[in-house]
Structure 1
Amino acid sequence: MDEGLNVTYITLGGHVEVHKYRFLYFMIMFIAYILVICSNSTIVYLIVIHRNLHEPMYIFIAALLINSVLFSTAIYPKLLIDFLSEKQIISYSACIFQGFLFYTLGGAEFLLLSAMAYDRYVSICKPLQYTTIMRKTTVCIFLALAWFVPACQLVASAVVNIHVKLCRFTVRAIFCNNFVYRLHCSGSRALSIFGVVILLNVALFPMLFILFTYATIFKITYRSCREVRKKAAETCLPHLLVLINFSLLCTYDVTIVRLKYDIPKLANLIMTLQLVLYHPLVNPIIYGLKMKEISKHLKQLLLCQGKVN
């Protein structure tokens, strides 16, 4: 606590031997951040400049990749600063804001994947009605809701949390996440219930909707010709891979704070880094390689760059 400025500071105690390996950590995360920005931005660039990619499915993919960049930007800059700092601290208000961004963008990921699942359902199961249902207005509404819904729900939680009394000032994490709740002097039943409601609305229900939608798609296409089954697999499997990857990592983040015992710091660091390192880098790889049209334009771009060099 800084009495002069009346600012409460939190120590981020999840780092492992940061003083010994600070430059190694910094270089790894700096390179990873550059790769996240470049890889995701390249796919978005291809979608923007090629008119045949101006379809709802690719627009949702572009939004998902932009969300990955924003998600990383909410975490990486502070991490990089901490690696080079003598003390890994953050003001409590900034910590709450970082947590708000982290979970808002995480919730947006699930809602964007839900919109993509619905788009694939209409495209494959109701092809004659596709242009009528998936209009530009519909796509814009889905995109707006994907960010607006989690933000509106989480802002209320953030406002309440910022006024909660703290009895501890060290969080066993490398950035502000659910572990912040362990700093509170006493648990709030109302806050816990509200947190569960948010989790259901922005993660569990969308995930169940996605699984149900793809199960319906595969059930319908199973009875169809081989060409239809191939199209369904090509467009749906990348989305499912992204969903499974992100869901497993988010499940860890949500459940770890509920455990009554602390897992080893190194194990927690590895799992946390997977969420902020592995996931934003995997998305562009999956969509760049598995989506046929994007892959084709990506190869053309790489060939052109090779000829220029």
Structure 2
Amino acid sequence: MGNHHSVKRECLHEAIRRKDVKKIKQIIYNSDIDFIKNDFKSLELATLYNLTEVVELLLSRGCVPRDKRTARAFDLGNEKKSKNFTFILSNLFLCLAVWKCHKDIATMFLKAGIEYKGRNQFNETILFVSACGNNSTLTEILIEGGCDLNECTRSWTALHVAAARNHDEVLRVLVKHGCDLNIRDRDGFNALMLAILNENLKNIKLLVQCGCSINIEELYSTSCVAKQLAKYPEIERILWNERTRVKNLKELCRLRIRSCLGQRLWKKTALLPLPTRIKDFIALKELFVSCEEQQQMTLTRSPRTNIQAIQS
């Protein structure tokens, strides 16, 4: 019987590799629950090849890895065994979906209760992987699912990744949800410094507008950053203007409230017992809504409730 199951599993794995959905369904529907329940190799392959329908079918048939631990890396053909870490098996499947930017599959895994905490075989957090993959939609899904925005991987947070790799939309999502803007890596660099090194005016402006710390003396004393400031007067001007600008009481209060709210700021702000225009002001909503949404907000709001009214 064991031999029969082994051959059958190989047939299933081969069908998944060929993306033969008809054959896959035939094997799964003609097999007992126990045959499918622990066939995590099939789940892994279906995730790798972005077979959303197959992943959904496997999950519905009980192939849901929970609290199982393993010391293996992703089994992608040339598998390498790792003895340095113990991984949460379920985290590996979600991490694979995120790494390959398979949004629908990653969402399925989260809904199925698959673990999003812990680290993969490279000791990376799931949010770090998502930031590396430059997938803003998945990053937002993971944040809303409860991922720690400020958790570090080799001294870098997801924000460091986004700033260093010019992943603008991912950076916007992280800032929008209240990540710490001033965490430093092992070399003493924060997101602003990395954005300056990349000459990314868009990200520099966003970080500055959202209240990141600006230490002009430190920036000039860091040679690689000082070179960029000398090379790009526009960056220098933005930083000096913000550093020397006197903030009004409303802005100071907003910075303090945002600091107290911390992570998942967008969600927490929405729950505050305050008028909508005040909540929008705290969340800096005008920086994060799309042009279309902003136009809709202008049309649907009266002048008295428009966010611009409280900024004047």
Q: TM-score, normalised by structure 2?
A: 0.23
Higher RCO, 1 vs 2 (CA within 8 Å, ≥6 residues apart): 1
Give the structure with the higher percent helix: 1
* TM-score, scaled to structure 1: 0.23
